């Protein structure tokens, strides 16, 4: 049941994007917002009904399709009452289900895939004009997505894509079939985008790729990622550089050296383990083994003793025995992760693991999962307690302290990525500013600083936040960035863990 009425001019139409899944999707949603605003749409105010609703979907999380169709079902009567309204579905689930989406929910107007985000405004227009649903899915990327305009969500932190797609074939993962082979962006373009963000006051950048350690494979430079980190070190005003996600298979010593020797690269590493058992890693088709993984951790700690290392772990992969699970616990105890994103394996249709024999019963998976969490929580808490009495530098964020209004604290991230809730009573600290404070308490998932900060630095990002500027970056093409105004919450998501990590 596509839209059949002639709409108002797009200039007066409002939109809202709902995002599911990983950072990749969050950043894609920034692009969707940028594209729609370039086409004349405006973001809908919170309590209003938008003219265009976009779902940027994820095919990886459990029950992703149930959630999408549930939400579409709720919107049906709304759309019936507002015939000019349009609904678009994009992202990984759209790439996977394609025309099935309009068969199951004929009131959807547009379905677009992961390779053609840029077509959305045209597809919306076409659907309105032709009064029928438009489904457009491409098999491979035509334009690197960073050439699209982007409505940045943060004044102080920005995502910058360095690659899209993945050349690996992990048996639990559907990303390669939906995002395609790895495509690397040229270093000059990446650095130009980083500089453009910094020129607008952004002080923290997260380099984003499914497997950042294989960056350069497309243009034949195995050391490209380390070089990129070092080049970020030369950008004046850029205070924090992070990246996600690395892959242990491709992790090379030059990257550790670049992290340790480049002052603005944060000593934080999110390195997916998935399993500590060599047998399970083999079945997952992850071509490193426990020894190699722990060897990388040892080298990182030797070069950066203050590094916070986090991970992703899947429990209950098909064929996993108690002995395999004990091997995972063993690595967890030895690696002393500051935190871990843990997943109970469940079948993802379309992945090789879905049809493997020896699927582990749900009750066993749950039991192992709970035991793993108990071990990791102890470690996280002990590691956080070690920071009591230490001074940390906190980049103040928006929306990370759920209890802030009750406690009167503010929140932000330390350089190593840890969440810090701090007291700044009577001080005019703003999101985007930087404070230095001393840790007084620790919990497994956050730190608390109850004394007033010893230092507060006003920043350009804080000015932009105070001015209420909305972020917007025109497309970055051929290395020539445009400029805009980023605003909003920082990247706080779960480390790209939605596909079970990388
Ligand atoms: S888990 Fe990560 S590395 Fe493995 S196939 Fe998926 S995207 Fe690639």
The residue among 489 and 432 whose pLDDT is bigger is: 432
Please give the distance, rounded to the nearest whole angstrom, from the Cα atom of residue 114 to the centre of ligand 1: 16
**Buried-state track 211-236, b at ≥16 Cβ within 10 A, e below 16:** bbbbbbbbeeeeebbbbbbbbbeebe
Q: Is the CB of 313 under 6 A from ligand 1?
A: no
C-beta separation of 491 from 466 below 8 A:
no
Q: Is the CB of 170 under 6 A from ligand 1?
A: yes
* 232 annotated as belonging to a binding site for a ligand: no
Please give the distance, rounded to the nearest whole angstrom, from the Cα atom of residue 173 to the centre of ligand 1: 6
Q: Is the CB of 247 under 6 A from ligand 1?
A: yes
291 pLDDT more than 70: yes
Least confidently predicted of 2-16, 17-31, 32-46, 223-237: 2-16
* 499 annotated as belonging to a binding site for a ligand: no
Strands 419-423 and 409-414: antiparallel
Q: Is the CB of 173 under 6 A from ligand 1?
A: yes
Joined tokens for residue 431: 């999101």
Question: Confidence class of residue 399 from pLDDT cuts 50, 70 and 90?
Answer: confident
For residue 199, which of 235, 161, 146 has the smallest C-alpha distance? 235
Question: Confidence class of residue 155 from pLDDT cuts 50, 70 and 90?
Answer: confident
pLDDT one-digit tens code per residue, 165-175: 889 999 998 87
pTM for the complete prediction? 0.80
Closest residue by CA, ligand 1 atom 6 = 173
Please give the distance, rounded to the nearest whole angstrom, from the Cα atom of residue 111 to the centre of ligand 1: 25
C-beta separation of 235 from 195 below 8 A:
yes
Q: Is the CB of 314 under 6 A from ligand 1?
A: no
Angle, vertex CA 191, rays to CA 189 and CA 193, nearest 5: 70
Q: Is the CB of 163 under 6 A from ligand 1?
A: no
Please give the distance, rounded to the nearest whole angstrom, from the Cα atom of residue 381 to the centre of ligand 1: 29
Probe target for ligand 1 pocket from 95, 168, 288, with the most ligand atoms within 8 Å of CB: 168
Over the chain, what is the mean pLDDT?
A: 86
What are the DSSP E strand ranges found in 145-249?
A: 157-161, 163-164, 183-184, 204-208, 240-244
Q: Give the list of residues 6+ apart from residue 59 with CB closer than 8 angstroms, or none.
A: 91, 92, 93, 95, 96, 174, 178, 348, 350
* 266 annotated as belonging to a binding site for a ligand: no
User: What is the rounded CA–CA span in Å between residue 168 and residue 366?
Assistant: 28
The residue among 435 and 467 whose pLDDT is bigger is: 435
* Domains recognised in the chain with CATH numbers: 10-136 (3.40.50.2300), 146-266+471-489 (3.30.750.210), 267-386 (3.30.750.200), 391-467 (2.40.50)
Closest residue by CA, ligand 1 atom 3 = 502
410 pLDDT more than 90: yes
**Whole-Å CA distances, 415 to 117, 120, 263, 392, 422:** 33, 37, 11, 8, 15
**Whole-Å CA distances, 462 to 241, 391, 488, 491:** 18, 22, 11, 16
User: What is the helix (H) or strand (E) element at residue 194, kind and residue range?
Assistant: helix 187-199
Q: Is the CB of 85 under 6 A from ligand 1?
A: no
**Buried-state track 419-454, b at ≥16 Cβ within 10 A, e below 16:** bbbbbbeeeebbbbbbbebbbeebebebbbbeeebe
pLDDT one-digit tens code per residue, 297-346: 999 999 999 999 999 999 999 999 999 999 999 999 999 999 999 999 98
C-beta separation of 438 from 390 below 8 A:
yes
Please give the distance, rounded to the nearest whole angstrom, from the Cα atom of residue 372 to the centre of ligand 1: 22
């Amino acid at each position: 049941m596509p839209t059949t009425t002639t709409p108002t001019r797009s200039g007066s139409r409002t939109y809202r994007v709902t995002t599911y899944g990983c950072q990749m999707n969050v950043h894609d949603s920034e692009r969707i917002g940028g594209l729609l605003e370039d086409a004349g749409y405006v973001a809908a105010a919170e309590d209003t009904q938008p003219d265009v609703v976009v779902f940027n979907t994820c095919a990886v999380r459990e029950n992703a399709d149930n959630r999408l169709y549930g939400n579409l079902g709720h919107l049906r009567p709304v759309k019936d009452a507002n015939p000019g309204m349009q609904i678009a579905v994009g992202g990984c689930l759209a790439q996977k289900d394609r025309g099935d989406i309009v068969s199951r929910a004929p009131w959807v107007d547009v379905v677009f895939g992961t390779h053609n985000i840029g077509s959305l405004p045209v597809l919306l227009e076409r659907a309105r004009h032709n009064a029928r649903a438009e489904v457009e899915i491409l098999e491979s990327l035509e334009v690197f997505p960073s050439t699209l305009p982007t409505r940045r969500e943060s004044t102080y932190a920005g995502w910058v894509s360095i690659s899209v797609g993945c050349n690996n074939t992990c048996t639990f993962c559907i990303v390669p079939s939906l995002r395609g082979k790895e495509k690397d962006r040229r270093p000059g373009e990446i650095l130009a985008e980083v500089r453009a963000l910094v020129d607008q006051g952004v002080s923290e950048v997260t380099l984003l790729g499914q497997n950042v350690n294989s960056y350069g494979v497309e243009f034949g430079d195995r050391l490209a990622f380390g070089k990129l980190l070092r080049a970020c070190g030369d950008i004046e005003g850029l205070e924090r550089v992070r990246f996600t996600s690395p892959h242990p298979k491709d992790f090379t010593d030059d990257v550790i050296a670049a992290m340790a020797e480049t002052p603005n690269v944060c000593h934080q590493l999110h390195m997916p383990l998935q399993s500590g058992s060599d047998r399970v890693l083999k079945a997952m088709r992850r071509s490193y083994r426990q020894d190699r993984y722990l060897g990388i951790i040892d080298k990182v700690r030797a070069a950066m003793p203050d590094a916070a290392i986090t991970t992703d772990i899947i429990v209950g992969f098909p064929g996993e025995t108690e002995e395999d699970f004990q091997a995972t616990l063993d690595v967890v105890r030895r690696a002393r992760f500051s935190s871990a994103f843990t997943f109970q394996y469940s079948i993802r249709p379309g992945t090789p693991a879905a049809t493997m024999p020896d699927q582990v019963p749900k009750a066993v998976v749950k039991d192992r999962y709970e035991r793993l969490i108990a071990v990791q929580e102890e470690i996280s808490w002990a590691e956080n307690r070690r920071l009591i009495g230490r001074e940390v530098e906190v980049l103040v964020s928006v929306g990370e302290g759920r209890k802030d209004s009750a406690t009167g604290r503010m929140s932000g991230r330390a350089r190593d990525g840890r969440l810090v809730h701090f007291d700044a009573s009577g001080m005019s600290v703003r999101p985007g500013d930087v404070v230095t404070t001393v840790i007084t308490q620790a919990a497994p998932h956050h730190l608390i600083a109850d004394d007033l900060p010893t230092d507060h630095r006003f920043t350009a990002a804080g000015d932009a936040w105070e001015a209420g500027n909305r972020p917007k970056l025109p497309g970055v093409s051929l290395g020539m960035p445009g400029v805009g105004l980023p605003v909003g919450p920082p990247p706080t998501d779960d480390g790209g863990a939605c596909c079970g990590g990388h």
